[in-house]
Structure 1
Amino acid sequence: MNRLARLARTTAFKLSILYFAVFTGLTGFLLVYISQNTNRLMLAQVTQTLNAEITGLPEEYARGGVRALVASIDSRARRPDASLYLLTDFAGNLIAGNIRQMPRIFLDEQEGGFQRVHYLRLTADGAEEQREALVRIFDLRGGYRLLVGRDLGETRILVNILSEARILWIGVVVIMALVTWVFVNRRVMRRIDDIADTSRTIMQGDLSGRLPMAGTDDEFDRLAGNLNRMLERIEVLMQGMKDVTDNIAHDLKTPLTRLRTRVETALRDAKTDAEYREALEATLDESDNLIRIFNSLLHIARIEAMASGDAMEPVDLKPLIEELADLYAPLAEDCGGALEIRVEPGLAARCNAGLITQVLVNLIENALKYAGRAGTPLKIEVSAQRRAGRAWISVSDNGPGIPADMRGSVTDRFVRLDESRSEPGHGLGLSLVRAVARLHGGEVELQDAAPGLTVSFDLALENLEEDRARDERDGRNGAGRRDR
């Protein structure tokens, strides 16, 4: 009983019942409509035929008398059709016709309209058969009575065929409903069960679970694809939260311990106001450093949590990069080097201009910090170009670069090379670059500049001419509406 109750609650069962009810109702209505109109049409044809017969036979009687009428009835009665004829005298005796017996009560009635009657008809082998007909009787001169009718057997056969078709069609609909239920239950419900199983796996804490896709590109595949992308996004955010927690637990433990040790040392060893002041100033510097690290981590987390469409707009990359070059070129010259730019004309991207500027500032400052060592003049190049349908922005330097085996991990938080640990910094710069690139639907590439390092990231291309033309059209349309 529980199994049947569970079955009755399934969508597949409800859809099958709905399909059966709707389709059966529509089909029944259609068959009844066809049956009734077909019967009405055939009766109209029968009536029209009888009217023609009734018009012709009395005329023959008027021209040739009873002999001519009997000859005409005998001739017509031999035709292989469904017409009925009966001619009787004033005493009711059969003179001519193809009807064996007609109810006496009907023959005694006065002349009137068409009526349905049952009669006995002679078959080809002389046997009698009970039939139904539509007939009409009218009187002739001399006491004769003429009956003209039409057998309704053909109409009855058609009605029976339609009734049998209705019963057969209901059976077909039942079978189709069962087939539909099996199909929906086996395929659709299986896909839904897969989604439920994956959801339970995710609720148990395994965010790596993904919904299976059949590869048919149907609505379930599209739903599974969207849910999988949502799960990937959630997994990235959760992993980022976990990374932040792990980073705080491991990488901030040392500065916090150092801060505590400095305070304990001051309390234990400091004797004068100057020594206490020096300890407080060092503690304040260490606290400011910790606050900067926390702010950087929170900033990266906010970027990773942003929706990819937040604050995105068409940006011409050439003016943006030229403005940064004007700002940092003097600093590069002060370091005995040069900062060059190489931007493809008319290159635009849909992006968050503030974040892209922050990324470029971060990369340029890293290049100023590490490039131009070992007596080599500092050289920094910022470039932007089209590649594979995307806008790629790169910052290259001639510094020591990053070993190939470390390029996959330096974009993680707090990862620093051994030779750069003596330099100021926290190892969060490239993490910020990766977060901003992913926000824009791109990735970060680290390549050997021989010598030095090239850091590249990609953005979605934008056609500024089309945007300007659309804005002009919108402006004209708005002005036209205001004028009206």
Structure 2
Amino acid sequence: MKIKNRLALYFTLISTVILLIALAIILVIFNSFAKSDFYSRLVDRAKVAAQLYLEADEISPDSLSHVRERNLKQLPGEVTRFYDDRNGASFIRDRQQYWDSNVINMVRKGRQVEFTEGNRQTVGIYYNDNQGNFVILTSAVDIQGHRRINDLIEIMLIMIVWVVAGLFFIGRWFAKKALEPIDDIIGQMQQVRASNLSMRINEGNGKDEISELAQNFNRLLKHLDNAFEVQQTYVVNASHELKTPVTSIIGEIEVALNKKRPNEEYEQILKSVLNDAENLNETITGLMELAQVDMSYTRAELSPVAVDELVWELADHWTNKMGKGLFAVSIQHLPDDPEKLQIPANKSLLIIALNNIISNAYKFSDKQRVQCDLYADSSHISITISDKGLGIPAEELEKVFQSFYRATNAKDYKGNGIGLYITGKIISLFNGTINATSEPGKGTSITVSFIN
């Protein structure tokens, strides 16, 4: 069953139950009111009968009957009886006692009682008179009241049928309207293929659960898009980047073996082979990092990482590697709450990303001093790594984060263009941003930012 039909059914059932409870309460109140009204009428008839029979001593019984019939319209199945102190019937005699002594004594004790006998309603009153103390019992069937109750039940049943049908169609219409954004999202999802993972679902302007669903699906698409891109980059470029230095090494060795040469030429060839081997090693290292990022994209386990502690760990590592004073850390601002310094990330991948930036800073500044600035407040964390090296042309700042791209002024430096590409993917995986500012000849600053 579709959700819209299920919601309409649930809405109808709940509304029907509430309606039935309300109608049942109305029916009970109406029935109680009808009974109470009929009891009042019976009490009035009993009192009028008492006045007619007990107060009018000079009027003959026949005249009393005439007055009673003229002033009191007979109720359906009406029975009225007078009983004296000995529980004997008075004034109105018949062959049957009609009510036994138990009922008569109950009225005498309670002074005024109301009770039902089958479909009959009965009232009894205790009446003091100069002729004696009498118990007057009056009983009748409220046919008109029963008819009204039955008519009311019939009207309610008809109303329930129509109202329930109306509630279902109204509920289905509301459910359809409420779920229209989900239908739109489903339609957009059906267009997503492996070839267009860059596509994004319309998140709308709302802040409801549907917008949250679209946002989470877009995060998943972004995650998959990055993972596929990393994987495709590895597959497409691995063979080419490995083949070039290997081919060069093989060619140089073949030239060396082609004929005997002086030691100086062998030394020159070996230096060239060593250079190609170093390039090959750097390429393999970059590709291994790329492969590690690829695997982590599919099964990265995130845990809180304290950014300030991570920066000091990097400072210790690069100080030991490059020498004292060559890696400077500046804490510009820290929040009062230590938890605001934590981000959900994979620490090993984050270290790879930041090490790639720092490594480039040293490489393109000829191992000059590198500055690391940390700024954090209650909503934002940023790490800026600056060098005083070669710099990047302004038109190439965005391109340096592409796979295997190298700036035009960096061709004389060893490298393969994988490092910043990997860094960008890792930072993106942890919902961070990375951007670079540079001035050729004066240095480069790369800032990694996270929102917490």
Is TM > 0.5 for Structure 1 vs Structure 2? yes
Q: Is 2:445 aligned against 1:454?
A: yes
User: Is 2:35 the counterpart of 1:43?
Assistant: yes
2:285 matches 1:297: no
Alignment partner of 2:413 out of 420, 423, 427: 423
Distance 1:369 1:55 in 2: 117
Task: Give the aligned partner of residue 329 of structure 2.
Answer: 341
Matched, 1:433 2:423: yes
Are residues 417 and 266 of structure 1, via their aligned partners in 2, closer, same or farther at CA, if it must alter by over 3 Å? same
Q: Deviations over 1:396-420 (max 9, x none)?
A: 2222210111110112222112332
User: Structure 1 residues 411, 48: closer, same or farther in 2, change over 3 A?
Assistant: same
Instruction: Quote the residue 2:363 is aligned against.
Output: 369
Which letter does structure 1 place at the counterpart of 2:98? E
Alpha-carbon distance in 2 for matches of 1:222, 1:342: 38
C-alpha displacement of 1:353? 5.3
Q: Which runs of 5+ in 2 are unaligned?
A: 82-93, 104-115, 125-130
* Structure 1 Cα separation of the partners of residues 278 and 233 of structure 2: 26
Instruction: Determine the C-alpha separation between the residues in 2 that align with 1:198 and 1:438.
Output: 24
* Residues 458-469 of structure 1 mapped to structure 2, 5 A cutoff: 458-460=449-451
Q: Offset of 1:174 from its aligned partner?
A: 0.9
- 1:409 aligned to 2:371? no
Instruction: Check conservation: 1:304, 1:435, Cα contact below 8 A.
Output: no
CA 1:173/1:215 → structure 2, altered by over 3 Å: closer, same or farther? farther
Provide the C-alpha distance between the structure 2 equivalents of 1:204 and 1:320, rounded to a whole number of angstroms: 39
Q: Is the 8 A contact 2:334 2:376 kept in 1?
A: no
DSSP 3-state at the match of 2:175: helix
CA contact (8 A) 1:318 1:343 kept: no
CA contact (8 A) 1:344 1:385 kept: yes
Partners of 2:5 and 2:348 in 1: how far apart? 55
Aligned to 1:161: 152
**Aligned mates of 1:460, 1:146 — CA distance in 2:** 87
CA contact (8 A) 1:313 1:350 kept: yes
Q: Of 180, 188, 191, which aligns to 2:171?
A: 180
Q: State yes or no: 1:330 paired with 2:330.
A: no
**Which residues of structure 1 form unaligned runs of 5+?**
1-8, 89-106, 118-132, 333-337, 462-484
Structure 1 counterpart of 2:434, one-letter code = V
Is the CA contact (8 Å cut-off) linking 2:334 and 2:375 kept in structure 1? no
- Rounded to whole Å, the distance in 2 between the matches of 1:166 and 1:110 is 43
Give 1:171 shift. Answer: 0.8
SS at match of 1:178: helix
Q: TM-score, normalised by structure 2?
A: 0.69
Give the drift of 1:359: 4.4
Does 150-159 or 432-441 show the bigger shift? 150-159
What residue number does 1:120 align with?
none
The CA deviation at 1:17 is 4.2
Write the distance in 1 (CA, Å) between the matches of 2:334 and 2:38.
85
In 2 relative to 1, CA 109–312 (structure 1 residues): closer, same or farther, beyond 3 Å? farther
Cα distance in 2 for partners of 1:78, 1:316 equals: 104
Aligned residues: 402
Within a 5 Å distance, the mapping from 1:42-81 to structure 2 comes to 42-43=34-35, 45-47=37-39, 49-51=41-43, 53-54=45-46, 57-58=49-50, 61-65=53-57, 67=59, 74=67
Letter in 1 for 2:59: R
Question: Residues 315 and 196 (structure 1 numbering): CA distance in 2 closer, same or farther, change over 3 Å?
Answer: same
Determine the structure 2 residue equivalent to 1:27: 19
The farther-off stretch of 399-408 and 253-262 is: 253-262
Are residues 365 and 115 of structure 1, via their aligned partners in 2, closer, same or farther at CA, if it must alter by over 3 Å?
Answer: closer
Q: Which amino acid aligns with 2:364?
A: Y
The equivalent of 2:373 in structure 1 is 383
Q: For the aligned residues, what is the CA RMSD?
A: 4.7
TM-superposed deviation, 1:387: 6.6
- 3-state SS of 2:448 partner: strand
Deviation at 1:154, TM superposition (A): 4.8
Taking a change above 3 Å as real, the CA distance of residues 402 and 319 of structure 1, as seen in their structure-2 partners, is same
Q: Give the structure 1 partner of residue 4 of structure 2.
A: 12
Higher relative contact order (CA 8 A, sep 6+): 2
Question: Partners of 1:284 and 1:317 in 2: how far apart?
Answer: 33
**Does structure 1 residue 171 correspond to structure 2 residue 159?**
no
For 2:385 and 2:29, how far apart are their aligned partners in 1?
Answer: 83
| Structure 1, 9-18 or 417-426: larger mean CA deviation | 9-18
Identity %: 18
* Residues 397, 449 of structure 1: 8 Å contact kept: no
Letter in 1 for 2:449: D
Q: Letter of the aligned partner of 1:344 in structure 2? A: Q
| Distance across 2 between alignment mates of 1:383 and 1:17 | 60
- Structure 2: which amino acid aligns with 1:412? Q
The answer to whether the aligner puts 1:111 opposite 2:98 as a matched pair is yes
Determine the C-alpha separation between the residues in 1 that align with 2:69 and 2:118. Answer: 21
Q: Secondary structure at the match of 1:394?
A: strand
CA distance in 1, matches of 2:299, 2:435: 22
Q: Deviations over 1:210-269 (max 9, x none)?
A: 3344534333332222212211221121122222223225434422433454565567x2
* Cα 1:14–1:354 shift into 2, 3 Å: closer
Give the 3 Å change call, closer, same or farther, for CA 431–172 of structure 1 in structure 2: same
C-alpha distance in structure 2 between counterparts of 1:193 and 1:322, whole Å: 52
Q: CA deviation at 1:12?
A: 2.8
SS of equivalent residue, structure 2 residue 329:
strand
Deviation at 1:18, TM superposition (A): 4.9
Residues 327 and 353 (structure 1 numbering): CA distance in 2 closer, same or farther, change over 3 Å? farther
Deviation at 1:280, TM superposition (A): 13
Q: Does 1:199 align with 2:199?
A: no
Aligned: 1:235 with 2:225: yes
